[in-house]
């Protein structure tokens, strides 16, 4: 009894439960936390108490029975609703108490109120969800702005530059002075370089090859023009399964993700071969970007994904209801896998 008196001054919910799962004692903190007016009404009644949620009751009974059979302590956490209707979270430790004959004859169940921690975790989770939603909106806004700028460059500036190119050619044909023709020719040459740069920028911004050739054709063309023609890497595109048409926004997000992954590999992998594999499976499209380069420790994947590029890829996949994972190890190359559901 002296031990029970000490528990009255401790801010935890301490209980004594008999071997046949009847409540024998509950501390003052527990009584107040559960908003119980007269605890004696519950003494001798089944534990867990009748107003506890069914899932909590089921798990607690299972753990008490197991502790009674094994004599081993146990730990569980769950939510209960007190008599005022307030939900409280508790972490409960179960300690079997043996009698003189060595058999378990009761249990000490000590529960610590973890409600504040759970509310903080819930708030943090909601904040993360809001951040993910904002990030997804940012990705889509970025894609729309890319298309807008690409269209502006193509329909406005490029056409004006083409017209200017024609005017310079005509001026060069009519130039009389020995100094004028070389200057006009040089200007025309520089204009051609500017046009090439803008066309390249348009390809990066708006990916017109997607509209012309679809995802697979666009990836093939981009690998040939932007990787093999401008770097020592060999590339390989593999497609398996029945190719299906995709929504234009989905194609754009996937194409940009593949480009980002291939660009990262070109910069960092020191590989000889880059392979992009499209697997058209039942219910999903799986895209693998794989290199035979130096790789990196798997524990660094999380750090890599904190970068803006890989973070954007992860958000793109989340936006599509898919997933993004990276498999790598030092000296083993790197494989990035994109998965998106197909309707």
Domain ranges of the chain: 2-113, 116-206, 212-343
For residue 132, give every residue at least 6 positions away whose Cβ sits within 8 Å of its Cβ, in sequence order, or none. 315, 318
- When mean pLDDT is compared across 18-27, 61-70, 174-183, 274-283, the lowest value belongs to 174-183
> In DSSP terms, which residues pair with 324 in a beta bridge?
338
Phi-psi region of 21 (alpha: psi -120 to 50; beta: other; left: phi over 0): left
Instruction: Kindly report the CATH number that applies to the domain delimited by 212-343.
Output: 3.30.565.10
The tens digit of pLDDT for each residue in 125-149 reads 888 778 767 766 776 777 677 777 7
For residue 229, give every residue at least 6 positions away whose Cβ sits within 8 Å of its Cβ, in sequence order, or none. none
User: Which tokens is 194 given?
Assistant: 């500017």
Q: Phi and psi for 84 in degrees, rounded to 5?
A: -90, 0
- When mean pLDDT is compared across 249-258, 309-318, 328-337, the lowest value belongs to 309-318
Q: Phi and psi for 110 in degrees, rounded to 5?
A: -110, 120
> Which pLDDT value is given to residue 306?
43
| pLDDT of residue 316 exceeding 90 | no
What does each C-alpha distance from 107 to 22, 23, 161 come to in angstroms?
A: 10, 10, 86
- Beta strands 334-341 and 323-328: pairing type? antiparallel
* pLDDT top residue among 154 and 250: 250
* pLDDT top residue among 141 and 118: 118
| pLDDT of residue 248 exceeding 70 | yes
> Which pLDDT value is given to residue 305?
46
Place of tokens 């992860």: 314
Cis-peptide into 259, omega within 30 deg: no
**Given 3.30.450.20, 2.60.40.420, 3.40.50.2300, 3.20.20.70, which CATH number is that of 2-113?**
3.30.450.20
């Amino acid at each position: 009894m002296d031990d029970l008196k000490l528990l009255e001054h401790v801010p935890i919910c301490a209980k004594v439960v008999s071997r046949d799962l009847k409540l024998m004692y509950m501390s003052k903190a527990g009584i107040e936390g559960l908003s119980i007016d007269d605890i004696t009404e519950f003494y001798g009644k089944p534990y867990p108490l009748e107003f506890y949620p069914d899932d909590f009751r089921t798990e607690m009974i299972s753990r008490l029975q197991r502790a009674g059979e094994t004599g081993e302590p146990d730990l569980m956490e769950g939510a209960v609703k007190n008599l005022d209707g307030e939900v409280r979270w508790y972490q409960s430790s179960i300690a079997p108490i043996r009698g003189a004959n060595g058999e378990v004859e009761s249990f000490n169940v000590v529960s610590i109120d973890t409600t504040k921690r759970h509310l903080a975790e819930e708030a943090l989770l909601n904040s993360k969800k809001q951040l993910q939603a904002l990030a997804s909106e940012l990705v889509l806004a970025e894609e729309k702005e890319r298309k807008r700028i690409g269209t502006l460059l193509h329909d406005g500036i490029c056409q004006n530059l083409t017209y200017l190119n024609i005017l310079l050619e005509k001026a060069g044909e009519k130039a009389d002075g020995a100094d004028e023709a070389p200057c006009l020719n040089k200007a025309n040459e520089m204009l051609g370089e500017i046009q090439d740069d803008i066309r390249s920028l348009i390809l990066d911004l708006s990916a017109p090859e997607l509209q012309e050739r679809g995802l697979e054709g666009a990836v093939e063309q981009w690998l040939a023009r932007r990787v093999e023609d401008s770097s020592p890497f060999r590339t390989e595109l593999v497609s398996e399964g029945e190719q299906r048409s995709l929504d234009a926004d989905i194609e754009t997000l996937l194409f940009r993700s593949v480009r980002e992954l291939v660009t990262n590999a070109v910069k960092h992998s020191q590989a000889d071969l880059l392979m992009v594999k499209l697997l058209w499976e039942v219910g999903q499209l799986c895209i693998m970007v794989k290199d035979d380069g130096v790789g990196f420790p798997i524990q660094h994947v999380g750090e890599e994904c904190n970068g803006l590029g890989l973070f954007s890829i992860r958000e793109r996949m989340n936006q599509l209801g898919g997933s993004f994972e990276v498999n790598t190890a030092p000296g083993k190359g790197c494989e990035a896998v994109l998965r998106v559901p197909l309707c």
